[in-house]
Structure 1
Amino acid sequence: MSFLDNYFEISKNGSTISREIMAGMTTFATMAYIIIVNPKILEAAGIPFGPSMVATIISAVFGTMAMGIYAKRPFAVAPYMGENAFIAFTVVKVMGHTWQTALGAIFFGGVLFIIFTVTGIRSWLIKAIPKSLKNAFVVGIGLFLAFIGLNTTGIVSIGVPGAPVHIGDLTSAPVLLAIGCFFLTAILMARKVNGALIIGILITSCLAIGIGVADLPQAFFSAPPSLEPIMFQLDIMGALNWGFISVILTVFVLDFLDTMGTLYAVSHRAGLLDENGDLPHIERPLLVDAVTTVLASLLGTTTTGVFVESATGIEAGGRTGLTAVTTALLFLAALFLAPILTMIPACAYGPSLIVVGMLMLAPCKELELDDISELVPAFLVITLMSFTYNLGIGMTAGFIAYPLMKAVTGKLDQVSPGLWILCVLSITFFITCPH
C-alpha cells in the first residue's frame, strides 16, 4: 500500500487510498452508460453493436489507465458523447460517407493532436485563454452536466416547438426516485459523509430494483464479442479527399475544445490549478487524450477525451491517478461483467450529475459582471453550451466574442496572440462545419 501512496503521492494531495478507490468507483458508476450508449449510437452508422461495445471499453481502459499511471490525474477517458452522434447521424446518415471513412477522419484528428501536443502548441493555446473564459467554461459545463442529469432522469423532458423543454412526470416512480436520490445525496454531503455520491447511487439502485423500476440482469457474466469486424477497418485514404476536410476540421475542433474545457473544469473543481489558473504538466493529459483518440479509430470507435463525469469522482474525493486506475479496472471488468455493471438505472446515476453540476457554479462569483466586454463572451459560453447541447459551440462563440468586445471597447491589449488564433479557428469552424 505504501507503493501506491508513494507513486500517486496520495498523502501529499490530502487524500487516502480508500478515498481514491471510492472516487474511482463513483466516476465509473456515473459513466458506465457509455458502454451501451456509444455502440447504440454508432449502430445507426452501420457499426455492429457487439464489437463496438468492446472497442468502447478497450478505449476507455487504455485512456483512463494511461491518465492515471502516466499523467497521474483523476480523469476518466472514453469515447465522447456528441462526437459519436456527429459521426453517426451527420457524417454517415446525412452526408452519405461510410463509417470507415469517418474513422479515418478521427485518425487524422488524433494524429494532429499528437503533433500539436508534443510541439507545445496545444498547451500554449490553452494558456492564452483569459481567466474569465476559463471560469465561464466551468460554469457552462456545470449547467450542461445538470441538464444532462435532469433530462436523463426524466425530471425535465423534451417538449414541443415553442416550449422545447418542460417538467417531467412527477408521479412516475423513476422520477420520484431520482428526486429522492438528489436530496439524499445533498443531505449526505451536507452532513460531510464520505462517499455521499456512490452511497446515493447504490441505495437508489437497490430501491429501483426492489420496486421493479430496474431489473436484475439475466446473466452475470458474458464473453466479449470479437473486434474483428471493425478493428483496423478505417479508410485513411478516403478521408484524404478534399471534400472531407470539413469533417476532419470539425472533429479536430470539437475534440480540442471539449478536452480543453473539460480538463480545466474538472481540474478547477479538484483544486489542481496553479496560482495562474493553469494545470501543471498539462501536456501529459493532453497527450493521453491524443494517443487514445488514434487508438480508438484503429479499434473502430469514435473520438475519445476526458469525460466530464470525472467531476463526480473528484467530488467524491479523488485527487490522484489512483482514482483513474480504479475506474479503468472497472471498465476492464466490464468486458466480462457488462450485464451487472450496466444495470445501474438513470434515476440512480443521473442525480449525481445534477449535484456536481450545481457545485460547479462556484466560479460565478469570479465573473466580472460589471464589465460588458467580459460579460458578453462569458454569457455566450455558458448559455450556448447548454442550450445547443454542445460544449464546442459555446466555447467557439466565446473565442469569437472576446476579441470582438475588447476591440469595440478599446481593450485590444488584453487579447493574446494565442486567443487570436483560437478566434480564427472558431470562425473557420462555424463556416465549414457541416451542421
Structure 2
Amino acid sequence: GGCPEDRRTPIVAYDDACANDGICVFSDAYTCDVLGGIMQSGTTWIGILGMIIIAIFLAYKSHLAFVFGIGLVTIISWPRGTAVTYFPDTLAGDARFDYFKQVVDIQPVNMLLAQFTSDLAGAGLALFTMLYVDFLDTSGTLLGLANAMGVIDEEGNFPKSRWAFSADALATMFGSIFGLSPVTSYIESGSGVEAGAKTGLTAVICSFFFFISIFFAPIIASIPPWATGGALVVVGAMMGRSLAKLDWNNVSHAVSGFVTVILMPLTYSIAYGLIGGIFVYLVMEGTFHLLSFVGISKPGSKKDDKGPARMAIGKSIINPQGDGGGLGEYAAEEGVGNDAGENADDGEDDKEAPMADEEEATPDDK
C-alpha cells in the first residue's frame, strides 16, 4: 500500500529448483526499506489518524466513536490508485478487489463434522492443550472486560461468572463441530464496553451482524487492518487503567505484571502473556519461600522491615550495613528459638507493662 515500489524487496520462495538456476517463485509479499525505520507508510499514518479520531469521540462520550473511526478509515482505504489503498496494483491487491466487487458471497458449509478423528492420543493432547490455553485466554479477557465495566467485587469475582465461562466453553465445543477455530470471548469486545455496553443487548446485536456478515463476507473482509488496529490500541489504553491497582512496590508483583503485559502483544496471545506472568511470579515467590528456610526473610515482610537486612546462611549473618553480629545476635534480636530471644521479649514486656498501667489510670485514682 504505502511503500514506494522502488523501496520494495520481494520475498522469494527459495526452493531446490530456484537454487539450481531454475524457476524462482516470487511472492506478492515484500519487505519495505523505510530509511532506518522512519514512518513513511501512508497506511500507518491513516491508522494513527483513525486512532486519534476514536479517542477524541470517546472523550466526548460518543457511542459512535468506534463505528465512525473504523468506517472513515475504511472508506478512505477503498479507492484504488492511492498510497493508502487496500487494493494496490499487485497480484494480492487485484485478488482482493475482485473479491470485494462480489459484494455478496455465500460459501457452502463443507467442514461440518470434518474434524473428528479416531486418534485418541492426538485428541487427548489437543484437548489438554486447548483446555488450559482457552481457560487462561477466557479468564484474562472476561476479567479485563468486567474490570472495565466496574463490576468486579473485592474478591475479584463478577456477577454470573459461571454462566459466562459456561457459555464460552459451549461455544468452543460447538464451534469445533463446524471446523472453526475456538469460538471464544475476544478482547475486541472492549470496544463495546467502552461504548456503554452493560446488559448484553450489544452482544445480541453483534450476533445478528455476525449472521449478516456470512452473506456480505466480501465487504467485511475488505476492512483493512489499519482501520481496526487503532480501535484496539484505544481499547488497550482504556483497559490499562486496571494496572493502577497493581502493587508496583512489590517486586514480584511488578515484574510478573510487566511480563504479562509485554508478552501479550509480542506473542499475539492473552493466554501466553498470562502463562509467562504466572510462571515468573511462581518462580520468584517459590525462591523467596525456599530462602526463608535458611533464615533469609522474604523481601517486604515485617521481619525484613524491622531493621537492617540480614541473611542467615549456615551459622553466619550477612549484614549489608557492616555492623557485625552473628547467628546468636540475630536470633536474640528477632526472638526466635533461644533463651536470649525469649528473655529479650520478656524484658520488653516488663518495660511496657507500667506504661499500660499508667494509661489505664483514671483522674479519680490519681
User: TM over 0.5, yes or no?
Assistant: yes
Contact 1:296 1:303 in 2 (8 A): yes
Match of 1:293 in 2: 172
Contact 2:147 2:242 in 1 (8 A): no
**In 2, distance between residues paired with 1:306 and 1:408?**
35
**In 1, distance between residues paired with 2:276 and 2:269?**
11
Match of 1:360 in 2: 239
**In 2, distance between residues paired with 1:231 and 1:342?**
22
Mapped pair 1:232 → 2:113: yes
**In 2, distance between residues paired with 1:385 and 1:350?**
15
Cα deviation, residue 218, structure 1: 0.9
Contact 1:169 1:175 in 2 (8 A): no
Cα deviation, residue 403, structure 1: 3.6
Contact 1:373 1:409 in 2 (8 A): no
Pairwise CA RMSD? 2.9
Letter in 1 for 2:275: T
Match of 1:315 in 2: 194
Match of 1:91 in 2: none
TM-score if structure 1 supplies the norm length? 0.52
Paired residue secondary structure (2:103): coil
Letter in 2 for 1:232: L
Paired residue secondary structure (1:202): helix
Letter in 2 for 1:231: L
**In 1, distance between residues paired with 2:132 and 2:147?**
22
Partner of residue 44 from structure 2, selected from 169, 175, 182: 175
Mapped pair 1:219 → 2:219: no
TM-score if structure 2 supplies the norm length? 0.61
Partner of residue 149 from structure 2, selected from 270, 273, 285: 270
**In 1, distance between residues paired with 2:42 and 2:31?**
18
The structure whose Rg is larger is 2
Aligned runs of 1:40-119 on 2, under 5 Å? none
Match of 1:63 in 2: none
What are the ranges of 5 or more consecutive residues in structure 2 without an aligned counterpart? 1-29, 88-96, 293-366
Mapped pair 1:185 → 2:54: yes
**In 2, distance between residues paired with 1:208 and 1:306?**
29
What are the ranges of 5 or more consecutive residues in structure 1 without an aligned counterpart? 1-156, 161-165, 413-435
Cα deviation, residue 176, structure 1: 2.0
Deviations 1:339-385 (A, max 9, x none): 22332222222110111111221122211111123223223222222
Cα deviation, residue 258, structure 1: 0.6
Cα deviation, residue 390, structure 1: 2.8
Match of 1:397 in 2: 276
Cα deviation, residue 334, structure 1: 1.2
Larger RCO (alpha carbons 8 Å, 6+ apart):
1
Flag the 1:364–1:210 CA change in 2: closer, same or farther, 3 A: same
Q: How many corresponding residue pairs?
A: 248
Cα deviation, residue 321, structure 1: 1.1
Letter in 2 for 1:226: P
Partner of residue 72 from structure 2, selected from 200, 203, 214: 203
**In 1, distance between residues paired with 2:127 and 2:261?**
26
**In 1, distance between residues paired with 2:79 and 2:273?**
41
Letter in 1 for 2:261: I
Cα deviation, residue 187, structure 1: 2.0
Which structure is higher in helix share? 1
Contact 2:48 2:230 in 1 (8 A): yes
**In 1, distance between residues paired with 2:31 and 2:37?**
9
